Amino acid sequence: MNSTNTATLTQPGVPMRVRNVSKRFGAFKALDNVSLEVAAGELVCLLGPSGCGKTTLLRCIAGLERQDDGHLYLGDRDVSELAPQARDYGILFQSYALFPNLTVEANIAYGLAGRNRDGARKRVVQMLELVGLTDSEKKFPGQLSGGQQQRVALARALAPAPSLLLLDEPMSALDARVREHLCTHLRQLQRSLGITTLMVTHNQDEAMLMADRIAVMNNGKVEQYATPQDIYDKPATPFVAEFVGQGNWLPFQRNSDSHAQVGGLSIRLAADAGRAASGRLFCRPEAISVNPVLHQENLFAARVREITFLGNRCRMRFELNQLPGHALTAEVGTHELPRLGAQDIFVALPPSSLQVFA
């Protein structure tokens, strides 16, 4: 698509703010004092397990649920108490919710009722071009593939040029094969339109692939709100560490400022590792080096239990000799396998990769 053209297709992005929003369903706290700021033109993912409140938050922003407490701002308007029709957003549902009895064209024109006929017609053509479905305007949604339906739903949501785009699990009805391609496509489109976007997903790959920032949610709270890289490399809470990616956990007692005691091992920590007297150490599998060529700190003898082939890399399960019965995981490139040789290995746990959770 052509970015000089698409930039004019929507209004300039506006920021969106959620301030201290709470929502209960009976005794269940779906949202617990949630605050969130989305910058103009930013794409933010709400990521979390089912029941974490991400969908409730989206529905509150859309006005489909009414929050018990707190405020929602779109640009400088307080939209907290507005009806959905008055909020000015477009939404793409998991099911797409395309109206089956209307053609693609009529679906896209659905939100353009206030315009004159020519204006609406022009806008529909423009939207069809934008999503690359110019030949399908007379078809019915049921005659399209899942991916095409998604694009129609997106065109319909964008047609009235809303200032906010909401995406509710947009990829989950699609085949895994086309998902990644469509994620990229959606992201490019969003970026070129510059429309502020909030997307709900339980799939971390989608979130990583698309988001400027990710808000990881659990039990109705935002656990961490940061860039995908920070979420992965510096998880703020054990929940985030566990939910995003793979990881190893080692229970420890602090025995000095610089060292932690794990079983029979004394493990050196980084200088900025915090002061917790006990707790758990966290380490990503790929941060562990197996049989390092150069000498490294925290080098321990270990025994391989199992190797799983994953294509370009292998997952290796092993136990530290000084910590029997506690399986850990490392990831190594497949090409390194021959070099690793026997069952008895050495592993290094670099201090900089060890994160301390109290």
Site string for other proteins, 52-71 (x = CB under 8 A): ----------xxx-------
Residue among 10 and 192 whose Cβ is closer to other proteins: 10
Residue in 26, 100, 325, 338 binding other proteins, rule: CB under 8 A: 100
Q: Give the tokens for residue 253.
A: 């007692």
Q: Decide: is 156 part of the binding site for other proteins (CB under 8 A).
A: yes
User: Could you tell me which stretch among 27-35, 151-159, 244-252, 310-318 binds other proteins (CB under 8 A)?
Assistant: 151-159
Cα–Cα distance, 202 to 69 (Å, whole number) = 25
Q: Decide: is 214 part of the binding site for other proteins (CB under 8 A).
A: no
Residue among 103 and 266 whose Cβ is closer to other proteins: 103
Q: Give the tokens for residue 155.
A: 């065109």
Are 281 and 252 a contacting pair, CB within 8 Å? yes
User: Could you tell me which stretch among 16-24, 39-47, 111-119, 195-203 binds other proteins (CB under 8 A)?
Assistant: 111-119
Kindly write down the DSSP assignment for every residue of 172-233, as one continuous string.
TTS-HHHHHHHHHHHHHHHHHHT-EEEEEES-HHHHHHH-SEEEEEETTEEEEEE-HHHHHH
Q: Decide: is 174 part of the binding site for other proteins (CB under 8 A).
A: no
User: Could you tell me which stretch among 142-150, 178-186, 302-310, 332-340 binds other proteins (CB under 8 A)?
Assistant: 142-150
Amino acid 95 reads S
Residue in 57, 60, 105, 123 binding other proteins, rule: CB under 8 A: 123
Are 166 and 62 a contacting pair, CB within 8 Å? yes
Q: Decide: is 126 part of the binding site for other proteins (CB under 8 A).
A: yes
- The torsion region of residue 248 among left (phi > 0), alpha (psi -120 to 50) and beta comes to beta
Q: How far is the CB of 154 from other proteins (least distance, A)?
A: 12
Q: Decide: is 141 part of the binding site for other proteins (CB under 8 A).
A: yes
Are 226 and 213 a contacting pair, CB within 8 Å? yes
Q: How far is the CB of 163 from other proteins (least distance, A)?
A: 8
Reported as type and span, the H/E element at residue 62 is helix 54-62
- 147 Cβ partners below 8 Å, 6+ apart? 174, 178, 182
CA distances from 274 to 31, 235, 251, 287 (A): 30, 14, 15, 20
Q: Decide: is 142 part of the binding site for other proteins (CB under 8 A).
A: yes
Residue in 48, 53, 160, 235 binding other proteins, rule: CB under 8 A: 160
- 129 Cβ partners below 8 Å, 6+ apart? none
Q: Decide: is 40 part of the binding site for other proteins (CB under 8 A).
A: no
Q: How far is the CB of 292 from other proteins (least distance, A)?
A: 51
Residue among 189 and 328 whose Cβ is closer to other proteins: 189
User: Could you tell me which stretch among 5-13, 182-190, 295-303, 311-319 binds other proteins (CB under 8 A)?
Assistant: 5-13
Cα–Cα distance, 93 to 195 (Å, whole number) = 17
Q: Decide: is 104 part of the binding site for other proteins (CB under 8 A).
A: no
Cα–Cα distance, 108 to 159 (Å, whole number) = 7
Token pair 């707790």: residue: 279
Residue in 1, 70, 93, 296 binding other proteins, rule: CB under 8 A: 93
Site string for other proteins, 7-26 (x = CB under 8 A): xxxxx---------------
Q: How far is the CB of 107 from other proteins (least distance, A)?
A: 9
Residue among 174 and 273 whose Cβ is closer to other proteins: 174
Q: Give the tokens for residue 163.
A: 């200032």
User: Could you tell me which stretch among 20-28, 95-103, 182-190, 220-228 binds other proteins (CB under 8 A)?
Assistant: 95-103
Kindly write down the DSSP assignment for every residue of 127-152, as one continuous string.
HHHHHT-GGGTTS-GGGS-HHHHHHH
* Residues that bind other proteins in the complex, under the rule CB under 8 A: 7-11, 62-64, 77, 81-91, 93-102, 110-111, 113-114, 122-123, 126, 140-143, 149, 156-157, 159-163, 166
